Structure 1
Amino acid sequence: MIEVRRAGPADCSGMAEILNEIIDAGGTTALTEPVSARALRDWMQAPGRSAWHVAVNDAGEITGFQWLGDMDYLPPEAIDIATFVKRGQSGLGIGSALFTATRSAAISLGATWINANIRADNEGGLAYYQSRGFRTYDRWEGYRMANGQIVDKILKRYDLD
């Protein structure tokens, strides 16, 4: 069974572990450098709108997390989403359970739509957001990541009305 709850500072180590495994594997996130629990705590406490949720299994282990936050390139009615599921745990309903809570949080934060910014080579991420009802509205070609790698990005939108 998957329990979804709001994330707090005590969850940052587990979230950093999941994220760093994904970063290390490469190919699905625009993040290129490992993140610390401290960095995640700082992001969580940064000014602006945000919501963080974790998925926890029966053993109490974090199996995934999702966050919402403001991004400079988005209009004020939009909020950005990022989703991370522990490697090897995709397809078990973790992302679906997280999105239920995150969607409600986006409405509570006053957003009218959610933006997902996905690497074009991230087939799993593209399929996940498509299955939630996100639709493509833009493509950024030749996006330079922090490590110098060039990728295309697909922007998808989920209307909350």
Structure 2
Amino acid sequence: MTVRAATAADAEAMSVLLTEILESWKSERPRSPDYVRQHYIEHPDEIQCSVAVDEDGSIIGFQSLRMANEGNPYGVTPGWGIIGTYVKLGTARRGVGRALFAASRDAALKAGVSKIDASIGETNEKAVNYYEAMGFRTYRTKPGVICKCCELRNVSDSELATGVNS
């Protein structure tokens, strides 16, 4: 598996992956290739959108990291990062999420971001556990949503590699 920056040419495959996930959640959220390109790859607040690609060149996950600006839809403190992660169904425990977060963490640090928010549906236990393993801790809740924060200075490379929480 390799992790690289997403490009507009990845929008179709990312859309397929996102559609599978959203259908499993019974979600009506947008997922078209145009939406993926505009909302994740080319969003004006995007710091980095990364894709994980397996040995045959298929995208098996992606992670979006954007800058929280004033008035963002999540109510995240301006200057923080906002992260979203999507990993192909059936690929759990292969290190995809960990590899994606390593790339996002590096991009956040280069952009001067020291805190990242992950706003997670309260019933999405896999995502809650994933973000906990990456060093995120609950800092607030909203109806139906758990908001977790990762303070990057508290997550070392060795902790990220081993999955040890800070």
- Give the alignment's TM-score, normalised by structure 1: 0.86
In structure 1, C-alpha distance between the alignment counterparts of 2:29 and 2:49, rounded to whole Å = 21
Residue identity in the other structure for 2:150: Y
* Structure 1 position 40 matched with structure 2 position 36: yes
Q: Which structure 2 residues correspond to residues 120-135 of structure 1 after superposition, within 5 A?
A: 120-135=122-137
Show structure 1 runs of 5+ residues with no match. 142-151
Contact (CA 8 Å) 2:46, 2:64: kept in 1 or not? no
Q: Percent identical across equivalent pairs?
A: 36
Residue 34 of structure 1, CA deviation? 4.1
Equivalent residue, structure 2, for 1:96: 98
Residue 95 of structure 1, CA deviation? 0.4
In structure 1, C-alpha distance between the alignment counterparts of 2:25 and 2:46, rounded to whole Å = 28
Residue identity in the other structure for 1:140: K
Residue identity in the other structure for 1:59: D
| Greater RCO, CA 8 A, separation 6+ | 1
Contact (CA 8 Å) 1:70, 1:78: kept in 2 or not? yes
SS in 2 for 1:24: helix
Equivalent residue, structure 2, for 1:65: 62
Residue identity in the other structure for 1:153: V
In structure 1, C-alpha distance between the alignment counterparts of 2:92 and 2:108, rounded to whole Å = 23
In structure 2, C-alpha distance between the alignment counterparts of 1:15 and 1:62, rounded to whole Å = 7
Aligned residue pairs total 147
Residue identity in the other structure for 1:38: D
Equivalent residue, structure 2, for 1:21: 20
Contact (CA 8 Å) 1:115, 1:155: kept in 2 or not? yes
In structure 2, C-alpha distance between the alignment counterparts of 1:157 and 1:68, rounded to whole Å = 13
In structure 2, C-alpha distance between the alignment counterparts of 1:122 and 1:39, rounded to whole Å = 23
Residue identity in the other structure for 2:22: I
Q: Which structure is higher in strand share?
A: 1
Q: Which structure is higher in helix share?
A: 2
